[in-house]
Structure 1
Amino acid sequence: MISPSIRRLRSVITGLALAGAAQVAAAQTPAVNPAQWTDELRAFARQDSLTPPPAHPILFYGSSSIRKWETLREDFANRPVLNRGFGGSRFPDALYYFDRLVVAYQPRQVVLYEGDNDIGSGATPQEVYQSFLAFEKLMQQKLPKVPLVFLAIKPSPSRWALYPKVQEANQLIRTYIEQHPKRLRYVDTATPLLGPNGKPQPQFYVSDSLHMTPAGYSVWTRVVGKQLKK
């Protein structure tokens, strides 16, 4: 029979091992570099001064797949949308600028696309999932009545080898969202970009095989529009 003292010792050792693993995982994820986004933040401020954003907008937030959605206002002309994507961002960046780029606009709804660059930088699906939970926690704390829409991480030809990890991250997030349907929505912006062979359809991607063409955004417009508030 194992004595209580041995059990306590094993518990301590296990805790230290888990903490060490978390530190290693954190070390493998590039740190937030605020200076990296100085120009984009200035551009947002200039846009706001020249053209005041809609009151309580539907805020599109995340990485370059949002930033490059240049037809967003035209695609949702009957919705008060605002694009605040910044290219190359990861979940840590989205969390870091949450107050400045999300809360400040007092949105009626937040549409989030993030996780693509996290996995591209070496993050695991579980780390992406935990980052999503951290983002959702901020939403509950600071914008408790504002619904959150998560856009599934897309498949890309240039990152096709990582797609199994993308699928795993998407599924983790989707399962959580489906357990909290009152405040969260999941939009499958991934599988509509795949062809009958199960691979990304070339017409949806520009020459870098990562970002999307207008045809790709037309697909997103169709599936995302169903989840937007009036």
Structure 2
Amino acid sequence: MAADDGVVLDEGAVVLEDAPPSNLDKLENSPPSNLDKFLKRFRALNPHFVRDDAEKLVCFFGDSDISHWKELPRVRITGDEGASWARCVNVGVGGAEMLHVAFYSAECRAKYRPDVVVLCAGENDLGAGAAPPTVFSYLEKSIAAFGHLDDATEQAQLRLRHDPQRTRDNANVVSSLPIDDTKSQQQDGMNASEFSRLRNNNTDEKVPIVYLCTKPEPVADAELRREYERYDGRIKELFQRYNSSCQEELLYFIDNSDLRDPSLYAQDGLHLSRQGYQVWDARVRDAVERVLLKMDERVLAP
């Protein structure tokens, strides 16, 4: 988790060059030195895992906010034969950045074959100095691995039009996304035909994602919180446009901007306390149960 001066970041956080999102091609050929370490940590999780195709599986995937979640919420499934419970699996690694999550996402999908992914990462990247557009591009790579961006564009950066008239839907989403450089001033918003290329026509291959946005951590200073807002703002707009294009809700955004009470955080001011996780339990349970219900309705539809 990111922190202000004087607070140690999670182990493994790396300072990335503030390069444009197109640096993903370079990272594929010359990944950061700690990538293998984090991939090994992800691969070592749940060594005896066996997938039961008869059950619904929810994969909690990300950084230490996931790994510290010792008691995952119970997700209820309502079917013709009564209520049952989904299986929830913790795939969290302390210190992991969205960069590491992105590079493990395809393996995560192959190993666990989740019905739903609860995704949480990005604070470590931002706290280590990476720019929001760069971290956003890693998130795009991650959701591409779960079927939401086609091969031709899975590493493409979604450029959003700078529109001063845009208003906030949630307190933590910026109303007009900042321009990062002079080139972005010349870039147009994405038209319908361009955005349609982001879609994967086979909806059966799309794994719904519930994204937990950044937290207003007590130790995060005002500048870092602004970076959080920029990052989350891009993600929320991507999700809104994508869901509209697909004509169904496949990407869910959970707003955490109201988690300001210090009692919701552990003593380090970075991670959630037991009370904080109880809030997340309720929010995630509600979102995932709605996702699973819609999935069942889709299967039963004529």
In structure 1, stretches of 5+ residues that fail to align are 1-19, 195-200
In the TM superposition, 1:79-118 aligns within 5 A as 79-118=86-125
Conserved in 2, the CA contact under 8 Å of 1:59 and 1:109? yes
In the TM superposition, 1:51-130 aligns within 5 A as 52=50, 55=53, 56-73=56-73, 75-76=74-75, 78-130=85-137
User: Of residues 230, 241, 262 in structure 2, which corresponds to 1:202?
Assistant: 262
Residue identity (%): 25
Is it true that 1:184 corresponds to 2:244 in the alignment?
A: no
- Any idea what SS the aligned residue of 1:173 has? helix
CA distance in 1, matches of 2:23, 2:221: 23
Q: 1:223–1:117: structure 2 CA closer, same or farther, 3 Å change rule? A: same
- Match of 1:220? 280
Question: Which one has a larger percent helix, Structure 1 or Structure 2?
Answer: 1
Counterpart amino acid of residue 137 in structure 1:
A
CA distance in 2, matches of 1:111, 1:31: 27
CA displacement at 1:102 relative to structure 2:
2.7
1:1-47 superposed Cα distances (whole Å, 9 cap, x missing partner): xxxxxxxxxxxxxxxxxxx95499889x95543124545633421x4
Higher relative contact order (CA 8 A, sep 6+): 2
TM-score, with structure 2 as normaliser: 0.58
- Any idea what SS the aligned residue of 1:209 has? coil
- Match of 2:184? none
CA distance in 2, matches of 1:66, 1:121: 19
Is it true that 1:149 corresponds to 2:210 in the alignment?
A: yes
Aligned length: 198
RMSD: 2.8
- Any idea what SS the aligned residue of 1:59 has? strand
Q: 1:155–1:41: structure 2 CA closer, same or farther, 3 Å change rule? A: same
Counterpart amino acid of residue 69 in structure 2:
W
Q: 1:103–1:219: structure 2 CA closer, same or farther, 3 Å change rule? A: same
1:51-89 superposed Cα distances (whole Å, 9 cap, x missing partner): x4554511110000011111105x446332111111110
1:134-167 superposed Cα distances (whole Å, 9 cap, x missing partner): 2222222598321111111112112234111001
TM-score, with structure 1 as normaliser: 0.75
In structure 2, stretches of 5+ residues that fail to align are 1-17, 77-84, 152-203, 293-302
